[in-house]
Amino acid sequence: MFSNKKSFWMEILKEGLANFYAEIGIPSRKLPVFYNPDMNLNRDVCVAIINLVKPKSVCCALAGTGIRALRILKETNTKKVIINDMKKEAYELIKKNLGLNNLNADVYNEDCNELLKRLKKLGCVIIDPFGSPLPFVEAAIKALNADGLLAISATDLGPLVGRYPKKCEKKYSANPLNNEFSKELGLRILIRKIQEIGLNNKKNFLPIYSFYYQHFFSAYFKTTKKNVKKDWGFVLYCPKCLNRKISKTKTGEKCACGNNFVQGGPMWLGSLWDKKLSQKISIIKYVKEENEVKAIGFFDLHQISRTYKKDIPKISEAISKLKEKGFQASRTHFSPTSIRTNANIKDFLD
Ligand SMILES: C[S@@+](CC[C@H](N)C(=O)[O-])C[C@H]1O[C@@H](n2cnc3c(N)ncnc32)[C@H](O)[C@@H]1O
Ligand SMILES: [Zn+2]
């Protein structure tokens, strides 16, 4: 269909209220300036959070085309926006895109960490890199003001969700689990690691809104006076009967069925969402409901069916049944076939 070998081309696109030039093609690091249309949901959430938290200044430290920054300028009341990308092509495109929208911002063409070292008292720093955010988190934390908003994304899901446990151990100092709720555990492992970097810099960071979507995690943090370390711990999981428990420490405890538990963590065991934000942001479906259920992890109906050789009920019916029995239960944004509930596996089987 296409005669030349170039696998991308420049177009003017629109996302939210911003128009922008971007190279369209298969989103990959090979694009001269990276742009992934599938991340628009991540940017929608970012704009919504900035509108609710209202930081005075925002730094998009790894900006690509600058689309997120353009949207922040167009769709929020942020007074000062700083945009940076190390790649010359990105820097030029960011300036072109600002011009296209008649907008002004401070634009830099530097290594993220070098730039952040010079910037102080920022209201919000956004770290949206290729892969893991960890190389940039300390510089971001140091550049934030006392009650700053830290926004991070991670696309290195392989280690975090248990496909490469050794890599997770090395990078995130935690053991991941490869089970039906490994995505939630991976997000919690990522959060704890960010908090650890915060604590090394004498700051406690509380996650106020975090989620999984397609191929990435996203988490937003505010500083808190609470000691976040108190909510770190482990999840014990029995692959034989699907029972799970939390524990503040590593333990040699066995499951009631006699099988050994596998242990994931250390990870953040506190809430993934601030109540007000979870109620006000409806972009990520089911977060509002699942935040009402006090439970870590969830039950996958297909997994229960495989393990116990039972027919799969309709998810809505399974939720109603649990609620009739007096349990909290809701769908979860992590998985379309799963239920977050404070019931245990036995309650599902009755
Ligand atoms: C995932 S893309 C950013 C996408 C963008 N935030 C968006 O929402 O469309 C990551 C960007 O980081 C830039 N980058 C990578 N390493 C960097 C560094 N050390 N300092 C600054 N920019 C860097 C890359 O050139 C790339 O444009
Ligand atoms: Zn068991």
DSSP-derived 3-state class of residue 140: helix
| CA dist., res. 226 & res. 13, Å (int) | 43
- Predicted TM-score (pTM) of the model is 0.96
Question: What does the CA dihedral 320, 323, 328, 334 come to, rounded to 10 degrees?
Answer: -10
Prior bond of 266 cis (ω within 30°)? yes
Task: Give residues with Cβ within 8 angstroms of 184, minimum separation 6.
Answer: 212, 272, 296, 297, 298, 332, 334
Among the listed residues 38, 40, 35, the one whose alpha carbon sits nearest the alpha carbon of residue 10: 35
Ligand 2 centroid to Cα of residue 320, in Å, is 25
DSSP-derived 3-state class of residue 233: strand
Phi first, then psi, for residue 305 (nearest 5°) are -60, -45
* DSSP-derived secondary structure letter, 34: -
Percent of the chain exceeding pLDDT 90 equals 92
What pLDDT was estimated at residue 26?
Answer: 75
Q: Is the separation of the CB atoms in 76 and 51 below 8 Å?
A: yes
Ligand 2 centroid to Cα of residue 174, in Å, is 23
Q: Using one digit for the tens of pLDDT, what is the confidence trace for 33-86? A: 999 988 999 999 999 999 999 999 999 999 999 999 999 999 999 999 999 999
Q: Please identify which residue in the block is written with the tokens 């002004």.
A: 104
Among the listed residues 180, 128, 182, the one whose alpha carbon sits nearest the alpha carbon of residue 155: 128
Mutation to probe ligand 1, out of 50, 58, 85 (largest number of atoms < 8 A from CB): 85
Q: Is the separation of the CB atoms in 100 and 21 below 8 Å?
A: yes
Q: Considering every ligand atom shown, identify the ligand nearest to the alpha carbon of residue 44 and give its number.
A: 1
Element (H, E) at 53: helix 40-53
- Ligand 1 atom showing the smallest separation from residue 111 Cα: 20
Ligand 1 centroid to Cα of residue 62, in Å, is 4
Task: Give residues with Cβ within 8 angstroms of 324, minimum separation 6.
Answer: none
User: Six-digit token pair at 199?
Assistant: 């604590």
Ligand 1 centroid to Cα of residue 154, in Å, is 12
Domain boundaries, the chain: 8-231
Q: How many Cα atoms are found within 13 Å in the side-chain-facing hemisphere of 72?
A: 31
What pLDDT was estimated at residue 1?
Answer: 44
Ligand 2 centroid to Cα of residue 267, in Å, is 22
Phi first, then psi, for residue 40 (nearest 5°) are -60, -30
List, edge to edge, every strand of the sheet that includes 204-213. 106-108, 80-84, 57-60, 122-127, 144-154, 216-224, 204-213
Ligand 1 pocket, Cβ-based, cut-off 6 angstroms: 34-35, 39, 43, 62-65, 67-68, 84-87, 90, 111-112, 128-130
What pLDDT was estimated at residue 3?
Answer: 42
What pLDDT was estimated at residue 288?
Answer: 98
Which residue owns the Cα nearest ligand 1 atom 26? Answer: 64
Each of the 350 residues of the chain gets a pLDDT tens digit; together they read 444 556 778 899 999 999 999 988 776 777 889 999 889 999 999 999 999 999 999 999 999 999 999 999 999 999 999 999 999 999 999 999 999 999 999 999 999 999 999 999 999 999 999 999 999 999 999 999 999 999 999 999 999 999 999 999 999 999 999 999 999 999 999 999 999 999 999 999 999 999 999 999 999 999 999 999 999 999 999 999 999 999 999 999 999 999 999 999 999 999 999 999 999 999 999 999 999 999 999 999 999 999 999 999 999 999 999 999 999 999 999 999 999 999 999 998 87
- Ligand 1 atom showing the smallest separation from residue 85 Cα: 22
- Ligand 1 atom showing the smallest separation from residue 68 Cα: 8
Class of the domain covering 8-231: alpha beta
Among the listed residues 344, 317, 340, the one whose alpha carbon sits nearest the alpha carbon of residue 330: 340
| CA dist., res. 266 & res. 252, Å (int) | 15
Mutation to probe ligand 1, out of 86, 156, 215, 217 (largest number of atoms < 8 A from CB): 86
The pocket of ion ligand 2, defined by CB under 5 A, consists of 238, 240-241, 243, 255, 257, 259
What pLDDT was estimated at residue 38?
Answer: 87
| CA dist., res. 278 & res. 275, Å (int) | 5
